[in-house]
């Protein structure tokens, strides 16, 4: 638009639909689930928006019924990845020069398509491919993606408006240039919205992107990239390249034009990419921006003044929603001895009522865990706990015959150093350590320092002095800290998300802090009355 500083619409969170019996959304979602179950699609790469079919493929199955193939996904090899880089570089100039209001409009249009026309497609694909029950899929895809798009456009606009001070006859400007090169976005299986955000946040700031989705989230992610294209995203801005992690590290990470790496996933993978970037540091045109949100060992720490029913609700929802596969999922609890008998009785009672099974049966609270490897890992921990004198399995178990089912499992650790109190399991397994009330201070320090992570944590107490002391001692133990609430469920625009230490670079997804990483500022000073003087007054004779 000529002669205008348009104001970006103020964003609002997309409200999730309830899917309660009798609602229209329930019927529409069930219809879409049946439709997607009845077909087996081929997922191509999308290079410059055009489908590219390759020989190397993987099968996309339903975690709750691992014999059922939903799709075959083509994988990019060396030739396709190199082509995608070339095309992303070729698309750069016209994308970054597109007037901001038009660039922003692509994402605002995509948000409308996601919350409207494609709501059930994205929700159903997330349910079937990633094993979420209806409500969990709803708060992820479509709601969180819509929020990411609307809020990030708004935050980007406010970044661009952030300008320096001026003196008389001088105008200083900050130009928020996109990075020189391309951004690589590598996304995890557990949130469709994270994939969408990793790819679009740098694109909103004017960058072009290669997006490598996780193989177990590729169905919903494929539908999502198609929505971006339908919304008018110019071909070439986001190149959709499912590939193996090793192909990405061999052919993309070492490319001298890599300007940024936008990652969510495990701490181990992020560390290996960081090391690889370090090894190639002389080859890059600029220092690549490394932004990663990684693992966690998220906790609830309860005080003896805690409201027990609220604590138990937070434990059950925090640990078992989406089978404990949220990065923020609760996996260790510190409970004082004085309230433990009440907590234990109520918790076991609640867990008995949480059904695990087919996500298309809306009575289930949990589906299956994502894949064979995750299942095998969890089985190992549960079996070890059953055999250990240092632990007691209070409830839970598994059955992998038809789907990768792990039932909500509660382990009581007799030693605070028991492995499931320290290691990230990423499944519906909650470990509780019951501490003597008088050891509160020592136990808070232990909670803070006993794992390498610092992602989410929650405290439960009604004693205000205790709340203040717990918050003080646990200040660095979590990037998202909750008081009398579960440690999951961060909402874009309300609780910007991310953790420090081994949990990531804490650049807060869905905030201006994250968007700033995708820009390289040029400061421009223009002078309207340039001086012709050379010397300074102090140089004159006395
Ligand atoms: P993962 O690390 O196994 O995979 C993440 C992505 O990295 C996938 O796309 C995978 O294919 C890719 N990858 C694997 N090896 C690679 C390599 N060598 N080079 C480049 N890419 C490679 O993680 P996941 O199993 O998909 O997700 C679970 C993990 O993600 C958990 O540790 C969880 O805590 C973390 N997570 C963190 C957050 C957060 O905000 N902190 C959010 C979601 C998930």
Q: pLDDT at position 54, please?
A: 98
In terms of CATH, what superfamily is 298-483? Aldehyde Dehydrogenase; Chain A, domain 2 (3.40.309.10)
Phi, psi of 331 (to 5 degrees): -135, -10
Per residue in 223-261, pLDDT (tens digit) is 999 999 999 999 999 999 999 999 999 999 999 999 999
Q: What's the mean pLDDT when you consider all of the chain? A: 98
Strand ranges, E, within 193-302: 209-212, 238-240, 258-264, 289-293, 298-302
Q: Is 522 a catalytic residue?
A: no
187 Cα: distance to centroid of ligand 1 (angstroms)? 6
C-alpha closest to that of 315 among 282, 342, 285: 342
C-alpha closest to that of 504 among 453, 432, 467: 453
**β-strand partners of 497:** 509
22 Cα: distance to centroid of ligand 1 (angstroms)? 38
Q: Is 360 a catalytic residue?
A: no
Q: Which of 247, 250, 251, 269 to mutate to test the pocket of ligand 1 (most atoms within 8 A of CB)?
A: 269
505 Cα: distance to centroid of ligand 1 (angstroms)? 14
| Torsion 491-495-497-503 (CA) sign | negative
Do 482 and 494 touch, CB atoms closer than 8 A? Answer: no
Residue given tokens 């003087």 in the structure block? 533
Per residue in 338-386, pLDDT (tens digit) is 999 999 999 999 999 999 999 999 999 999 999 999 999 999 999 999 9
Per residue in 71-125, pLDDT (tens digit) is 999 999 999 999 999 999 999 999 999 999 999 999 999 999 999 999 999 999 9
- With a Cβ cut-off of 6 Å, ligand 1 is lined by 186-190, 194, 212, 214, 245-246, 248-249, 264-266, 269, 272-273, 293-296, 327, 424, 426, 455, 497-499, 503-504
| Spatial CB neighbours of 125, under 8 Å, sequence gap ≥ 6 | 36, 141, 192, 219, 220, 223
**Confidence tier at 2 by pLDDT (50, 70, 90):** confident
Q: Which of 198, 222, 265 to mutate to test the pocket of ligand 1 (most atoms within 8 A of CB)?
A: 265
In terms of CATH, what superfamily is 24-294+504-525? Aldehyde Dehydrogenase; Chain A, domain 1 (3.40.605.10)
> What is the pTM (predicted TM-score) of this model?
0.98
Listed by start position, the domains of the chain span 24-294+504-525, 298-483
Question: For 121-130, what is the mean pLDDT?
Answer: 98
265 Cα: distance to centroid of ligand 1 (angstroms)? 2
Residue 188 Cα: closest atom of ligand 1: 26
């Amino acid at each position: 638009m000529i002669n205008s500083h348009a104001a970006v619409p103020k964003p609002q969170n997309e409200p999730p639909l309830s899917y309660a019996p009798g609602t229209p959304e329930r019927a529409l979602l069930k219809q879409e689930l049946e439709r997607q179950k009845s077909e087996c699609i081929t997922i191509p790469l999308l290079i410059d928006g055009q489908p590219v079919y390759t020989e190397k493929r993987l099968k996309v199955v339903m975690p709750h019924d691992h014999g059922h193939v939903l799709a075959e996904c083509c994988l990019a090899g060396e030739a396709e990845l190199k082509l995608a880089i070339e095309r992303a570089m070729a698309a750069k100039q016209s994308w970054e020069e597109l007037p901001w209001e038009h660039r922003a409009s692509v994402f605002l249009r995509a948000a409308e398509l996601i919350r409207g026309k494609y709501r059930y497609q994205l929700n159903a694909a997330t349910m079937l491919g990633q094993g979420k029950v209806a409500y969990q899929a709803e708060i992820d895809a479509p709601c969180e993606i819509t929020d990411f798009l609307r809020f990030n456009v708004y935050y980007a606009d406010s970044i661009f408006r952030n300008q320096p001070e001026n003196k008389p006859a001088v105008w200083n400007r900050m130009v928020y240039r996109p990075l020189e090169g391309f951004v690589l976005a590598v996304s995890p299986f557990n949130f469709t919205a994270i994939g969408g955000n990793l790819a679009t946040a740098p694109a909103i700031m004017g960058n072009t992107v290669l997006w490598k989705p996780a193989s177990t989230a590729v169905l919903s992610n494929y539908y999502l990239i198609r929505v971006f294209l339908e919304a008018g995203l110019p071909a070439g801005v986001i190149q959709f390249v499912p590939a193996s992690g090793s192909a990405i590290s061999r052919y993309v990470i070492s490319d001298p034009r890599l300007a940024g790496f936008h990652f969510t996933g495990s701490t181990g993978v992020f560390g290996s990419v960081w090391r690889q970037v370090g090894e190639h540091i002389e080859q890059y045109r600029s220092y690549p921006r490394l932004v990663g949100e990684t693992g966690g060992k998220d906790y609830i720490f309860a005080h003896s003044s805690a409201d027990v029913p609220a604590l138990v609700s937070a434990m059950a929802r925090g640990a078992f929603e989406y089978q404990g596969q949220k990065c923020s999922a609760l996996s260790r609890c510190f409970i004082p001895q004085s309230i433990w008998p009440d907590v234990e009785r109520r918790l076991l009672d609640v867990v008995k009522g949480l059904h695990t099974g087919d996500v298309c049966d809306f009575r289930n609270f949990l589906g299956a865990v994502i894949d064979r490897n995750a299942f095998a890992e969890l089985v190992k921990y549960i079996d070890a706990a059953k055999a250990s004198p240092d632990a007691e399995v209070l409830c839970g178990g598994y059955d992998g015959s038809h789907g990768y089912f792990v039932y909500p499992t509660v382990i009581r650790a007799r030693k605070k150093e028991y492995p499931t109190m320290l290691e990230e399991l990423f499944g519906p397994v909650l470990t509780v350590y019951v501490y003597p009330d008088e050891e509160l201070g020592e136990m808070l320090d232990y909670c803070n320092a006993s794992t390498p992570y610092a992602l989410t944590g929650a405290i439960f107490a009604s004693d205000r002095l205790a709340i203040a002391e717990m918050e003080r001692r646990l200040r660095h133990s979590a990037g998202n800290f909750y008081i009398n609430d579960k440690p999951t469920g961060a909402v874009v625009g309300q609780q910007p998300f991310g953790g420090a230490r081994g949990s990531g670079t804490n650049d807060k997804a869905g905030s201006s802090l994250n968007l700033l990483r995708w820009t390289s500022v040029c400061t421009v000073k223009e002078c309207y009355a340039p001086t012709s003087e050379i010397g300074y007054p102090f140089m004159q004779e006395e």
